[in-house]
Structure 1
Amino acid sequence: MTQESVEKKQKLVQSEQNGWLPPSVKEMKDPFQFASATHHSKIPERIAESPNEPVYLGVDEAGRGPVLGPMVYGIAYCLEKYSKELKKFGFADSKTLKEEKRTELFQIMDQEEHELNVNVGWATRTMTARDISSGMLQPSHGKGSYNLNEQAHDATIQLVREVIQSGVNVKYLYVDTVGPPTTYQAKLQREFPGINVTVAKKADSIYPIVSTASVVAKVTRDMNLQYYVDNLATIDDGRKLGSGYPSDPNTSKWLNGMVDPVFGWNFGLVRFSWQTAKDSLVRNGAVDVIYEHDCVKNDAGYVEIDSFFTEKADKIGRDFYGKSVTL
């Protein structure tokens, strides 16, 4: 880790001392590498004490649409018999809760000895803007685009699999859908044949365990972005990042005011694959860049030499050279 990275890590610790941060943000190893990361809580005591009892697990995400910052997948899990208890704490679709309430809920989940802490486990997968765009912008003649839905599916599968591998007896899986619910449910059911899988629209407002996952994802996403708001002041000319959504005036001003003509933006905070970012580059005079893979010509393949002496030669010439050829 570089000296600069150490100093920025120290700032993160200072931020935590000034106010609570979730472990999914506090324990970022090197924030300015903008590398995607996974964080798991410890296995809750009640689940560890009853390893054979069935467990409910919910999945939701936050930050799918923003042009700045990560998309975070969150999961939460508890014993089946405890799942109904979540309602009494006020868990709901995170978008319907005020920021203070979301933070309060996640904070008490993080407090040792609290009822939620000993009953509910959680995990996050923070997918950075850098990695999201790197996947989506892969050249078509290589692996091809790793689209956002595929990335989301893989993040979900990874988190669920890791919880199962830790010894948790997951028997019911509830997921807020990405894409058509029926197709996604069938995919997850194939991945986890021993689990009862339910994929639904608005699952975060229907199933309390998904509501809990929604809070975990949303707070992690918001506080992750807030960390950069607090620590980019020396290199972003003091502009406010805003929420990261294209409709946010502060985000729009920052995005359009920080364009480098060659590199676009010097931070792994921007989703270059978003149309909003592409439009900003064009609008603000970024130079056209030709990448090496764009120079690779498609090979039309070999043909028999005698084909050049047939009545089809003229057509073959056009196929190869884009114009009529007289042989």
Structure 2
Amino acid sequence: MSQSDIWSGTVDAKLESGRATGFKVKKGDVITIIASGWVERGSGRAYGPQGDESLVGSYKPAGLVYPDGLVGALLMKIGDDYLTPINNGVFRWTVPTDGELTFLINDLAGDYGNNSGSFNVSVEKKTLTTEPTADVLKYGDKVRFLNGYANWNGGYLSVYDSSKEVGAKYDVVSVLSPEKEGPIDTWLVGSATGKPDGDRVRSGDTIRLLNLYGDGPGYSDKNGGGYLDTNNHANSPELYNVSTAEKANRGVEKTGHKTLDWVVMYGAVGSQIYIGDPISLRNEYNNSQGGYLDTCNHFAGRKTIGYHVYTNRSPNRAGVGTGSWKVLRAITSGPTAR
């Protein structure tokens, strides 16, 4: 059971101190936030609550209110100390501390006066009186990833045929009918930072995804389909090609790079990821500049059709969902069963 409260209002881009809401939350409350609108920093381009994505990897001015966030992104403060990016919003986020909600724009201190526009923000709070029953994502889970293109008709992230990239194992595509091919679309979620199986996966965590295609009874680096990896430059508009690889060939111990590492992103950093949530996956190659997992262009294989998979500089290329991936439970119960 839960009790619900609602707040809505606008956040003016000129307000350096932010928009105080008078809306108070307590640790353990569950909130959903939806943000929209456009702002402009100085005489630059207009952008939404996610911030100015055109500046990713090229512009990180010193003195930002939230140094690790994009310029112009929507931020939320809880009380006096807790600050986190909200971007386009969060869904069923568990509040980590007590305090009043304040929303503001990520900009340089003293440099808010030339901003224009505003974001519209709505908040719904549910104070739980019983434990939540939502299905959370945990390390060690077997999952599938459904791409958001064309209203979630972008296909399931899958391996397909041997890759021609040096050090790679299989090509990676999205396929519309993966059940015809065995568990090519089933991925084991592991931690790149040593978190144990059973721990909850949270936004901002660095994960590794092992494809479970193969015949071995215990899925491992050698008898599975390999780890999701970036390998070599892609043609425009994409950034890098995506394939799978074994740790021995492409792991950081071998190459010195983090091409097998992906940061899972959905809502505020630290929020739990639930089955059904539409996440983004950012590759950690080249100091987190490996791009976001993305579909682009049709793929037609021998037995199935779908889309090619690459990375892109933006998690929302063209605004049509190609960089969104819905986390779903796998339907496999063994090495080849579905």
Bigger Rg, which one: 1
Q: TM-score under structure 1 normalisation?
A: 0.20
Q: TM-score under structure 2 normalisation?
A: 0.20
Structure with the largest fraction of helix: 1
The structure showing larger relative contact order (alpha-carbon pairs under 8 Å, at least 6 residues apart) is 1
Structure with the largest fraction of strand: 2
